[in-house]
Structure 1
Amino acid sequence: MKKFYPLPIICSLFFIYSCSENISPVDSGLDDKIFHFGNGTEPQGIDPHIVTGVPEHHLLIGLCEGLTTANPKGGSSIAGAAESWDISEDGKIYTFYLQKNGRWSNGDQLTAHDFVWSWKRLLTPSLGAQYPDMLYYVVGASDYHNGITDDFAEVGVKAVDDLTLEVRLNNPTPFFLGLLSHYSTWPVHKDTVLKHGSIDDRNGEWTRPGNFVCNGAFNLKTWELNNKIVVEKNPLYWDASTVQLNEIHYYPVSNVMTEDRMFRSGQLHVTSTLPSQKCPVYIEDQNPNLRIDPYMGTYFYRFNTNNPALVDPKVRQALAYSINRTQIVEKVTKCGQIPAYSFTPPGSNG
């Protein structure tokens, strides 16, 4: 049996609730300038030359910074650790001028030599980096990484002086500036890495709280495994005056239903994903908290070409043509996805 309360009682209940001391993290975060973020699964680390996942990326974009950074409004990359750059007429030589007040979080000056050493580390074969090919556009990078040469001086990157970095490319690469906003190309602090291991050490000791040194807008404060990661504003960041947050709290929530409940109960400002069954409901209700943005990724299936039935490319083409992508988007996923008719997402550079 449903119970209906007269209006005065409802108003009283609301008043008592609103005046209670149970202030949500979201509400208190607005006052304290603390951002609560649902970060998906537990990050596997924060070594930019080793990690590959989205949760790791979310952390790294606050902790470190490359020569360029992604434009939050879309479009071409914008200045990061480099305040400006020149490109030669043939499009093969890039000269980057670093921020004059660029600093590591321990106070050291960020220099062009840091980028040279960091790129050497990324390309060191024994490190086993996942994205060394991001630098294959650079002269000699592929040969060094694949052991064809062991002389890094043959790689087309050099420090002209402390604040000037020159990069030589094999061919004109219009999307090169965009590549440099990927965390695999970002600098690591040489002395810190070598203090806790070697250039190709993967143990991650240098990335622990208290050890970690980087050049981003935030510093690593605490890391409670499977609970919470806290980063705090870095006062030495070259653009610290524009950083409005004091802290960011990252919560590893692998269950999307749990993350959705945390958001609705005021524990999170933003979620990294949401339940597929909830998305069409939120869209239909025009929920003002729902934001759908383009995702630079493509979902696809691979064919096992060792299967005799799939050897003929015409068979594979026929199967591809038979898939109604629009119907999948409208009837199955139902969360604003775009039907894919090419491998690279629309709007990709290159």
Structure 2
Amino acid sequence: MKKKLITMTSIILAVVLLISGCSGASEKDKEKILRTNNTSEPGSLDPALAQGTHESWVLDHIFEGLMKKSEDGDIVGGMAEKYELAEDEVTYTFTLRDDVTWSNGEPVTAHDFEYSWKRALDPETAAYYAYQFYYIKGGQAYNEGKGSVEDVAVKALDDKTLEVVLESPTAFFPELTSFYCYFPVSKDVVEANPDWAKDPSTYVSNGPFLLTEWEHNAKILIKKNEDYYDADKVKLDGVDFAILDDENTAWQRYEGGEFDFLTPLPQTVVAQLNAEKSSELVIGADLATYYYNLNNEVKPFNNAKVRKALSMAIDRQKIIDNVAQGGQLPAEGVVPYGILDENGKEFREVGNFIKYDVDEAKKLLEEGLAEEGMTVADMQNATLVYNTQEAHKKIAQAVQEMWRTNLGIEIQLENVEFQVKLDREKAGDYQISRAGWIGDYIDPMTFIDLWVTNGEYNDANYSNKEYDEYVKTAKTTADQKVRMDAMRKAETLLMEEMPVLPIYFYTQPYAQKSYVSGVFKPVNRYPYFIYADMDVDKF
């Protein structure tokens, strides 16, 4: 009898455990973890040191600046509940919310913002985006070693109040504070551990999600921050970013149900989904330009005629129709559509600086090479570097063939990892390289100031004093007409000298499963999952 009782008890216990186990698995399966792909291993997840979308996409979810983009695309209060602009039009006073904390439970203060911005400007930090803080009075002088940190006009008046004085009126400054280089870091954390950003166990942030796992070159997992002041709007439990640089493999995983969302997509897939009118395809707007850098310090790319010849020999419409296939527009300059001028009209209406003219290209190439004492044969070893992605490869192959057919130039192609490409561009270790730029804010300046002499992202190594003066004028005047005219002149000059070859104005096609909703694509950011949701009954 006793044996039977023990046996029966064991059976009941086993059944309970089985049911309990199944219930646990079911609940876990119902967790809203959105799965996607990040394409490249981040070089750094320190906001001051990040430099590309492979980093900013994650940072935009785990940090938050003074201001942020709402689900409607408006610039609204983030860490700051409000700001005031003084009558001098250069003094901003931001007031922080009462309920904002770091992921370690400590309060986010105005002192953290003062520390973070000055840290980004510190020459020792070597922040790629330090120049974006030059709008702040004393910022450029400090970064260039011509002034002191005390002269940088960012000051925490108390824990909740930050005062910022700009060099000149800058209408887009509130929006700029939503950009990732302006994200705060915890002064106490950074000073206590210089390697804080390298490991999730020591990582501290202030956004709607928290970094919980980082398996280098494999995956990044972020989980909902339950202490985020706006946590009620965050419906996902987390986002699982795989790190795969092969678009086709990523697409296969999406098709196989391993991803719920995917961008970028192979170009053939975009074309196919477009033709099928697939409900899973979304063509997102993008304030971005796809272009090629020409290293202006290397012969014969130091010659403007050679550069213009290379540009004129590219049939951009053919690339869009037959290769890119994502609704892109042929580039007409470096500034894309989507930015308004002082009259509320498209800035791009300044004109189309790009033309396809093979005969003129041949003429300019011959003249330019002669000026450098070179021939077409001397260009046969020129190499175009692009980061590993099927789309970049196909575009590079198309351009390679156009230059071969139209100009008789046999260039070489080399694919490398994205971070390697960035490092080589910074070192000037290339001749031609694939590049792209997404506007940091919605103003022509976010493109125009890329090519000032010694600019941090002037990877073409272009230098022109007249161009620099136009940019300086645009940055130091409060007169919008004078400002816009200076940027129009700057772009005109840039396209006359063609240090870079604009190819097309981006779109950002992405695919999302039917059970995913609420994904928001800002015009100048990668898609936001902050307001996304998943129907647990459908996945």
TM-score greater than 0.5 by the shorter chain = yes
2:102 pairs with 101, 104, 113, which one?
104
Unaligned runs of 5+ in 1: 1-26, 198-203
Is residue 2:49 matched to residue 1:50? yes
Tell me by how many angstroms 1:80 deviates.
1.1
Is residue 2:320 matched to residue 1:329? yes
Tell me by how many angstroms 1:92 deviates.
1.0
On the 8 A contact 2:47/2:59 being kept in 1, the answer is yes
C-alpha separation between the residues in 1 aligned to 2:299 and 2:27?
Answer: 58
Tell me by how many angstroms 1:225 deviates.
2.3
1:272 pairs with 253, 263, 282, which one?
263
On the 8 A contact 2:44/2:197 being kept in 1, the answer is no
C-alpha separation between the residues in 1 aligned to 2:45 and 2:57?
Answer: 10
- The change in CA–CA distance for 1:279 and 1:171 in structure 2 (over 3 A counts) is same
Is residue 2:157 matched to residue 1:166? no
On the 8 A contact 2:120/2:127 being kept in 1, the answer is yes
Is residue 2:246 matched to residue 1:247? no
Paired letter, 1:96: F
Give secondary structure in 1 for the equivalent of 2:214: strand
Aligned residue in 1 for 2:338: 347
Residues 165-204 of structure 1: matches in 2 within 5 Å?
165-197=162-194, 204=195
* TM-score computed with the length of structure 1 as normaliser: 0.83
On the 8 A contact 2:320/2:330 being kept in 1, the answer is yes
Kindly provide the CA deviation profile for residues 89-142 of structure 1, in whole angstroms up to 9, marking residues without a partner as x.
Answer: 342111111111111111111111110001111011011111001110000000
Aligned residue in 2 for 1:291: 282
Paired letter, 2:172: F
Tell me by how many angstroms 1:328 deviates.
2.6
Paired letter, 1:174: A
On the 8 A contact 2:104/2:204 being kept in 1, the answer is yes
C-alpha separation between the residues in 2 aligned to 1:65 and 1:190?
Answer: 15
C-alpha separation between the residues in 2 aligned to 1:162 and 1:116?
Answer: 11
Q: Which piece of structure 1 moves more, 43-52 or 140-149?
A: 43-52
* TM-score computed with the length of structure 2 as normaliser: 0.55
- The change in CA–CA distance for 1:328 and 1:206 in structure 2 (over 3 A counts) is closer
1:230 pairs with 197, 208, 221, which one?
221
Unaligned runs of 5+ in 2: 1-25, 340-441, 444-539
1:157 pairs with 154, 157, 166, which one?
154
Tell me by how many angstroms 1:57 deviates.
1.1
Q: Tell me which protein shows more helix as a share of its residues.
A: 2
C-alpha separation between the residues in 2 aligned to 1:297 and 1:82?
Answer: 28
On the 8 A contact 1:29/1:36 being kept in 2, the answer is no
C-alpha separation between the residues in 1 aligned to 2:78 and 2:317?
Answer: 39
Tell me by how many angstroms 1:72 deviates.
3.9
- The change in CA–CA distance for 1:340 and 1:130 in structure 2 (over 3 A counts) is same
Tell me by how many angstroms 1:319 deviates.
5.5
Task: Report % sequence identity.
Answer: 35
Aligned residue in 2 for 1:80: 78
Give secondary structure in 1 for the equivalent of 2:81: strand
- The change in CA–CA distance for 1:345 and 1:73 in structure 2 (over 3 A counts) is farther
On the 8 A contact 1:43/1:252 being kept in 2, the answer is no
Paired letter, 2:99: N
Give secondary structure in 2 for the equivalent of 1:300: strand
Paired letter, 2:206: N
Aligned residue in 2 for 1:68: 67
Tell me by how many angstroms 1:299 deviates.
1.3
On the 8 A contact 2:37/2:250 being kept in 1, the answer is yes
Give secondary structure in 2 for the equivalent of 1:326: helix
- The change in CA–CA distance for 1:302 and 1:61 in structure 2 (over 3 A counts) is closer
On the 8 A contact 1:29/1:35 being kept in 2, the answer is no
C-alpha separation between the residues in 2 aligned to 1:163 and 1:278?
Answer: 49
Higher relative contact order (CA 8 A, sep 6+): 1
- The change in CA–CA distance for 1:301 and 1:64 in structure 2 (over 3 A counts) is same
Aligned residue in 1 for 2:347: none
Paired letter, 2:283: I
Aligned residue in 2 for 1:311: 303
Tell me by how many angstroms 1:28 deviates.
8.6
C-alpha separation between the residues in 1 aligned to 2:189 and 2:227?
Answer: 17
2:125 pairs with 119, 124, 127, which one?
127
Q: Tell me which protein shows more strand as a share of its residues.
A: 2
Report how many residues are paired. Answer: 316
Tell me by how many angstroms 1:332 deviates.
2.5
Kindly provide the CA deviation profile for residues 19-77 of structure 1, in whole angstroms up to 9, marking residues without a partner as x.
Answer: xxxxxxxx998831111121111222311110112121121111111111134433x42
Tell me by how many angstroms 1:325 deviates.
3.0
- The change in CA–CA distance for 1:165 and 1:261 in structure 2 (over 3 A counts) is same
Q: Which piece of structure 1 moves more, 295-304 or 245-254?
A: 295-304
On the 8 A contact 1:230/1:250 being kept in 2, the answer is yes
- The change in CA–CA distance for 1:310 and 1:215 in structure 2 (over 3 A counts) is closer
